[in-house]
Structure 1
Amino acid sequence: MNSIRSRLLVWLIGALLLSSLLASALTYEMAWRGFNAIRDYGLEQIAYSIVRHDTQDWLTDQPDPEPSTPADPTQAAEPTPNPIQDDGQFVSQIWTSNGRLIYSSLTDTGPPLQEPGLHQVEWDGTRWRIYTLRDRERVIQVATPAERRWRAFLEYVPALLAPLVLLLVLLGFLISAAVSGALQPLRRLREEIGARDVALLSPLEPDEMPDEILPLVDTLNQLLAKVDRLLATQRAFLADVAHELNTPLAAIKLQVQLAQQARAQGQPVSLDELEAGIERAVHLVAQLLQMARLEPDARPLEMQPVALEQLARERVLAFLPQAEHKQIDLGLESDGPLEVKGDLHQLRVLIDNLIDNALRYCPEGARIDVRLQRQDGRKRLEVADDGPGIADADKARVLQRFVRLRPADTTGSGLGMAIVRQIAEQHQASLSLLDTPGGGLTVRIEWPAGGLA
């Protein structure tokens, strides 16, 4: 049962039913006691009524009167009618003080004499409710069968429970309506979210929302804002990618057309420009793939201890042929083994982009130093060159995507430093662009003491 409405109805109506059963039991018990009290009071009043209206002297033992002789001997005496059998709701008896029954509304003796007060006894296979009253020299006893009282009470039970049943049904409908009304804001929220598409990610209106839903609405608004920013970033990224890819691809297409024309005219075909365009496109695609992997939730970081000195030495050796081709002095300076906690693949990409950027922008004969240092518990990676450097006004811009300060002097894509910045942020490391003493640029990545490093 995953429906909130169903759960609420089950709990509320279940609680209502249990409460109603308890209330019915209590009502029944209280009504039964009250009914008994009233009937017992009725027995008491009957007993007192007999005392008030009894004028015969039951204590005088007189001989039975002689039967009268009819005037006409030939006329038979009328038969004496049989006494009326009291089959009503009670039996009345009158006893002498010494316990002799002198009157009973039944033809037989009736229930035995009891002490003054209320009693419940078994007699002749029937349970009797008896009230006994002692008055002067007489004892009045009034009794009623308990079964008659029970049947009389059962006649009132339907009328007693009918209002409770009606109340139960009414409350059931009211609870169902109340639950539906209370869940109406959730339905409106669902409809509002369902009506939105990717083009409409504006925040949800929290007006008239219950206090319990406001945290959910706030969380959804935060999520919508994040998704909106992510989509805006992706749209801008795709637009930049389309623009950046268009240039090398157009150049490649032009070089192919020129090569075809030269071959058709029997002229020597030069593929150097074509090769350069292909190299630039390949480099751009590779960096675009790196940027895609750095997008949030694209791939979780696999944080582990990384031997940074060993990794830096490996990457320096990988770039040595390219550095020797441009007659650039590429070297590694280290204070010893250095270990940080991070994603090995991402840190390799970071070092590659730092070295590749330095090689692309440094002229022939320049020097590039990769340094690993420790200072005050912090661990530091630096790539310093003596190239043209970057002006202070451009240092913030160069960390953005597709920003090339000197596009005519290099085949870079403008993504290298943006990739470095994003990897540093993911590893909670700081990124600084500093001027190299004597000219050039020093890129510093520093892990804080006691942090992830």
Structure 2
Amino acid sequence: MSESQPWLYRLLEPDGRQSLRRRLLAFLLVPLMAMLFIESLITYTGALVYSNHVHDRDLAGGAETVARMLQMGLDGPLSEQARFLLQYDPEGHNNINYFSIASEHHGLLAGAGSLAPPSRLALSVNGEPKLFDAMIDRRRVRAASMVIDSVHEPGDTLTVTVAETLRDRRQRAREILLLSIPAQALLIAAVFVLVWFGVRIGLRQLDPLTARLAAREHDLAPIGDADVPVEILPLTRTIDGLFARLRGMLALQERFIADAAHQLRTPLAGLRVHVERAQSDPSPETVKDALGHILRLTLRATRTSTQLLALTRAQAPEMDGGAHTLLDLGRFIPDMLALRVHDALAAGVDLGYDGLPQPAWIDGDRTTLQELLDNLLDNALRYAGRGSMVTVAVAEDERGVTLSVEDNGPGVPPAFLARLGERFFRVPGSNEEGTGLGLAIVQRIAERHRAHVRYTAGNEGGLRVEVRFPPARTSKKDGDA
């Protein structure tokens, strides 16, 4: 496992092997821990709000109690017992309490002089206590203040203010938080355990599929969707696609072996016959004749093998959908024909070309298209006969680009035109040796180019083969085509 992976994955996968179960739990554990942290913040905030509400109510009640004591007409502004009760912390939390009593005519009468209500409170005489925040001795305090009539001096008013530090409020909020955290942690742990078992039980749905695949030996049939959970359908359908490609490759391999055995059996048998003939009669004439037959049979076997390999390549699934590039047949075909002029002269055939003044663009592969053209020319040069003419033409219309190869040879009877392109099919009565694979290779290469092959009689009685390519899908012209 890579060191760059998150520490949580390294913790959950100590053996370095990936586990879907552990990875799912890892994705769940982090949000659950975050939820616990967020819930703790919410709980503490709520507890602090509740604690402030309770203490504010008690603080206002304290201010009202002091005001009633002053209105009872006790001696002096406030008794020593009252001072003690105002400043006493019954729970011993070091929660510091303050108070002040101020007269409108005589100023501060008792308590902390710095504890004066701000002017913005706009206190009314004998009204409800009002709360505010203040600072005393560099401590933040919460205070309640109210104004009452003085019973000792008519016309005078007294401002009563009581305050306390925030320590006790925060302490109460922390106590509530500490009480709630174990319950929340226990709930999250229970959810995590339930998820653990839920994941384990959920993954057991894969057991029938696993058992079904394990029971296979050489079966490449599709898995199907019968007992496959919806979540892994994309995976099984991808595997089915792989099985389909494997079946195609195996079928292609079996067909190649069968074709090779069928086509090479006759040349190999002939080779054995002529070798035994030369061994039984070592005279120069017999040996020379046997060697001539062996050479022809060897060339035939070589050509058959080459054609079989070419057909196999043409039939193989196309692995790279982007192998085709923009190609100008108007430039490509003449370049390829120039390479076959020597073969045409040797066969005594007049090879010509009829092209277009403008480019003829298609989406194609240069290598396989060259093989297509070579097989069409081989077929024409072989069967047209000496003294004949072979014309290669490129035409274009709204339906696409058409490549045609036409000769004026003996042609093919109309009854056999539909069978051209079949593997190993040769027109009856033909005296030329061949494998019957050339036009089959043309057919397969055309299919890979989404092209259509058409066999018709030529204008002068020979054979005309047309390969119609669809219009190019790429708009940008390839200058190298």
- List per-residue Cα deviations over 1:22-72 (Å, max 9, x = no partner): 3322321221121121123234445656778999751599xxxxxxxxxxx
Change (3 A) 1:189 1:99: farther
Residue equivalent to 1:386? 409
Aligned equivalents of 1:312, 1:213: Cα separation in 2: 53
Residue equivalent to 1:200? 219
Q: What is the Cα deviation at residue 417 of structure 1?
A: 0.8
Residue equivalent to 1:21? 37
Change (3 A) 1:358 1:336: closer
- Out of 385, 393, 397, which is 1:372 matched to? 393
| C-alpha contact 1:95 1:101 (8 A) present in aligned 2 | yes
TM-score by length of 2: 0.68
Q: What is the Cα deviation at residue 245 of structure 1?
A: 1.5
> After the TM superposition, which residues 1-80 of structure 1 pair with which residues of structure 2 at under 5 Å, given as runs?
1=5, 12-45=28-61, 57-59=73-75
| C-alpha contact 1:204 1:217 (8 A) present in aligned 2 | yes
Change (3 A) 1:153 1:229: closer
| C-alpha contact 2:376 2:438 (8 A) present in aligned 1 | yes
Aligned equivalents of 1:353, 1:51: Cα separation in 2: 116
The more displaced of 129-138 and 200-209 is 129-138
> After the TM superposition, which residues 15-414 of structure 1 pair with which residues of structure 2 at under 5 Å, given as runs?
15-45=31-61, 57-59=73-75, 86=88, 88=90, 110-111=111-112, 116-121=129-134, 129-132=142-145, 137=150, 143-174=163-194, 191=210, 195=214, 199-207=218-226, 209=228, 211=230, 213-263=232-282, 268-269=286-287, 270-271=289-290, 272-294=292-314, 295-297=316-318, 300=323, 304-305=327-328, 306-321=331-346, 323-324=347-348, 330-336=349-355, 342-361=364-383, 367-372=388-393, 374=395, 376=397, 378-387=401-410, 389-392=412-415, 394-406=416-428, 409-414=431-436
Aligned equivalents of 1:331, 1:357: Cα separation in 2: 14
Q: What is the Cα deviation at residue 412 of structure 1?
A: 1.4
Q: What is the Cα deviation at residue 166 of structure 1?
A: 2.9
Instruction: Indicate the SS of the match to 2:420.
Output: helix
Q: What is the Cα deviation at residue 278 of structure 1?
A: 1.4
Q: What is the Cα deviation at residue 284 of structure 1?
A: 0.4
Aligned equivalents of 1:196, 1:359: Cα separation in 2: 55
Instruction: Indicate the SS of the match to 2:281.
Output: helix
Aligned equivalents of 1:53, 1:298: Cα separation in 2: 98
Aligned equivalents of 1:5, 1:318: Cα separation in 2: 68
Query: What is the CA RMSD across the aligned residues, in angstroms?
Result: 4.6
Change (3 A) 1:196 1:391: farther
Aligned equivalents of 1:221, 1:383: Cα separation in 2: 44
Aligned equivalents of 1:290, 1:258: Cα separation in 2: 34
Instruction: Indicate the SS of the match to 2:350.
Output: strand
Gaps of 5+ in 1: 62-82, 103-108, 325-329
Aligned equivalents of 1:215, 1:437: Cα separation in 2: 54
Q: Which has the larger radius of gyration?
A: 1
| C-alpha contact 1:248 1:278 (8 A) present in aligned 2 | yes
Change (3 A) 1:164 1:319: same
Aligned equivalents of 1:242, 1:157: Cα separation in 2: 85
Aligned equivalents of 1:91, 1:443: Cα separation in 2: 109
